[in-house]
Structure 1
Amino acid sequence: MDSTQSLPGWHTRAVVGSMLLAATGYLGFALWSGWQEVLAAIGKVGVLGVAAALSLSLANYGLRFIRWQAYLRAMDHPVPWRPSLKIYIAGFALTTTPGKAGEALRGVLLKRLGTPYPTSLAAFLSERLSDLLAVVVLTLFGLTVYPMSQPMVAVGAAGVVAAFLVLSSQGLLQRLHGAVTGTARIASLLRDGLQVLLQARRCHTPALLAGATGLSLVAWAAEAWAFHLILQWMGLDVPLGFAVFVYAISMLAGALSFMPGGLGGAEFAMVTLLAWQGIPGPDAIAATVLIRLTTLWFAVGIGVPVLSCSLDK
């Protein structure tokens, strides 16, 4: 696959298509909720408050980048931090694809630097698994407070356990990889998928798993804290533990929905839980829109220009 020729296609189909769809849907949600409430919330939070929320989002991205570099090193394909950081940020442009699958575009850009596709895809898969594990752990802050969320958390936890069981079965993966023969496209895809899983195993040694999990927990807790601060600055009395729970369960709901960027699922969960806590509907919607603008859409906003520059090279 010629990466230099494949990038424009990715740009047209993935970036433009997914972003327009997601942005249109989000604009509709914001207009439906009422821009007056959102603007009022921004006014209460203030410039410094918005800057603080954006800074915590940057901390999230930075910690996840450190984890990304650790995964690449573990698979014997380290990349200098400057070009790797540009590629990592460029991937945020495709955060609004279902399950964030578009972030796998980083593999196309890394191929220019000699990183094989199985390696970059294994790093991407490991990232998603690490994020899921961290979010599931953070939901424990309020699981007893809101028992109705327990089935969703159980599904997320079961997914984590199943993934680790698969990755721990090196012998089985190797036997399956050797057993898949033939030149048919389905056989080739199976071999490639098994090769990615075999590579991903190297990202989940005990030491690296502990370090990556710690980075993931702090990264997602930073954005959850930003959510708590926004609620506080809006004058809404929500305990820190419950705010962390609401943010984490909303991210889990968005991930399980497989909607672009978790759109719809995450927002519905946030608004519902805040309303359950007694927050007035307009305030709950405004806080939800504001935190998503300073997290999800901030990532997209910094990713698009970096990706555009990468495509022009």
Structure 2
Amino acid sequence: MSFDARRFLSKWGTYALFAVFAAWCLHAFQHDLAQIDLSTLQHAGPTIAVVGGLSLFNYFLRVVRWRIYLAKLGHRLPWGFTALTFMSGFAFTLSPGKLGEMVRARYYLPRGISASSLTGAFFVERLLDLLAMIILASVVLAELQAYRYFFWVAVALVGGLLVMLAVVPWQRVRVPVGQGAINMLAHARQFLAPGVLVSGLLIGLVAWLAEAVGLKLLADLDPTVSIQLGSAIGIYALAIIVGALSFLPGGLGSTEAVMTALLVAHGMSVPQAILTTLICRLLTLWLAVVIGWLCVWRLRHHATGLPV
């Protein structure tokens, strides 16, 4: 098989899998989807706009954090360039573990920023996002008995990785294979400095809390149920944790299933829980993907690191 054929299959095969998955979901839930009452959306425009704004606020705060990490690496880049390059990674959010987001490295390499330092920053960023979700989910852990296993797995994973990063002298580790990963971990260690670590975590907490509040606002569109703010935060955080641990592209399927199940457990009907989940994911996951591709298009002439 030629290189071009492999690249074509790699690119479009992924989209084909998403299409098949979407078709399966439509078939599996067609009975519940038929019962969705869209009348709740008649006056939902302002709420949807606010929830979308909260997602944009999330993206803005994460750009701020990324700029702090780049400054830690000794590079103070223009705001516009930093924002565009960071958000361009959202185009590849639907990659396992969001690893596809690291394609943004192509814009930084011409500016003298090494791939290992970028992957180190990305690794810590992902780790702190998961830690932020753990903290948010812990607020209502008592209500989430059925999903405690995922919570504690995430705690063990994040705790173990942080200890490993802090204790192992990565600069002195030499291995025959996988030296690139060792270099990445060595660079990641510098982001564990107290000031950078705390600021990164606090920014992550506020950013993800904003999207969790968005779920609460969407749940309030259903007049038949009242979900407390703390419960909405826990539902959103735990759904994202399960999605991250599933290593499915963007947590597709797992995140939606958990979010819907938890909304139902808090009194929402299955059709309305599906609707709330779909809108939430449209305004968080898919909005980010659309913005990411717009940024990729905007940066199409700037892979050489020219100013934006």
TM-score (norm 1): 0.87
Question: What displacement does 1:50 show?
Answer: 1.1
Q: What SS does the corresponding residue of 2:161 show, helix, strand or coil?
A: helix
| Partner residue, 1:4 | none
Are positions 1:191 and 2:179 aligned together? yes
Residue 305 of structure 2 is matched in structure 1 by: none
Q: Tell me what 1:109 maps to.
A: 107
Aligned alpha-carbon RMSD (Å): 2.4
Instruction: Give the residue type in structure 1 aligned to 2:243.
Output: G
**Change in CA separation of 1:130 and 1:12 when aligned onto 2, cut-off 3 Å:** farther
Identity of aligned residues (%): 31
TM-superposed deviation, 1:114: 2.3
Distance between the aligned counterparts of 2:207 and 2:13, measured in 1?
29
Query: 2:187 & 2:245 partners in 1: Cα distance?
Result: 25
CA deviations on 1:176-220 (whole Å, 9 max, x unpaired) are 23xx25xxxxx2xx2111111111111111111111111000000
The aligned runs of 1:270-285 (5 Å cut-off) are: 270-285=259-274
Distance 1:140 1:54 in 2: 25
| Aligned residue type for 2:85 | I
Q: Distance in 2 between matches of 1:41 and 1:95?
A: 32
Residue 229 of structure 1: which of 217, 234, 258 is its match? 217
Whether 1:220 aligns to 2:208 is yes
Matched residues in 2 for 1:80 and 1:9: separation?
Answer: 38
- TM-score normalised by the chain length of structure 2: 0.88
Alignment of 1:244-283 (within 5 A): 244-283=233-272
Partner residue, 2:162: 164
Distance 1:249-1:90 versus aligned 2 partners, 3 A rule: same
Deviations 1:256-300 (A, max 9, x none): 000000001101101111111221110111100010000000000
1:238 maps to amino acid: I
Q: Is the 8 Å Cα contact of residues 213 and 229 (structure 2) preserved in structure 1?
A: yes
Deviation of the 1:74 alpha carbon: 1.2
Secondary structure at the counterpart of residue 78 of structure 1: coil
Q: Is the 8 A contact 2:41 2:221 kept in 1?
A: no
CA distance in 2, matches of 1:159, 1:10: 34
Equivalent residue, structure 2, for 1:176: 173
Distance in 1, Cα, partners of 2:29 & 2:121: 38
Shift of 1:9: 11
Alpha-carbon contact 1:38-1:289 (below 8 Å) kept: no
Q: How does 1:1-313 map to 2 (within 5 A)?
A: 16-22=12-18, 24-26=20-22, 28-29=24-25, 32-33=28-29, 40=38, 43-44=41-42, 46-171=44-169, 173-177=170-174, 180-181=175-176, 187=177, 190-235=178-223, 236-313=225-302
Contact 2:37 2:272 in 1 (8 A): no
- Cα contact 2:216–2:227 (8 A) shared by 1: yes
Tell me which amino acid in the other structure corresponds to 2:180. Answer: D
For structure 2, the residue ranges without an aligned partner over 5 or more in a row are 303-308
Note the C-alpha offset of 1:22: 3.1
Structure 2: which amino acid aligns with 1:98? P
The 1:131/1:13 distance shift into structure 2, 3 A limit, reads: farther
Contact 2:239 2:258 in 1 (8 A): yes
1:142 CA displacement: 1.2
- SS of equivalent to 1:96: coil
SS at match of 1:234: coil
Task: Tell me the distance in 2 between the aligned counterparts of 1:291 and 1:212.
Answer: 25
Give how far 1:140 is off: 0.8
With over 3 angstroms needed to count, the CA separation of the structure-2 counterparts of 1:174 and 1:213, relative to structure 1, is same
Q: Which stretch has the larger CA shift, 268-277 or 27-36?
A: 27-36
Distance 1:138 1:40 in 2: 30
Decide whether the 8 Å contact of 1:139 with 1:248 is kept in 2.
Answer: yes
The alignment of Structure 1 onto Structure 2 pairs a total of residues equal to 296
Which whole-Å CA distance do the structure 2 matches of 1:65 and 1:23 have between them? 30
Unaligned runs of 5+ in 1: 1-7, 182-186
Aligned to 2:172, what secondary structure does the other structure show? Answer: helix
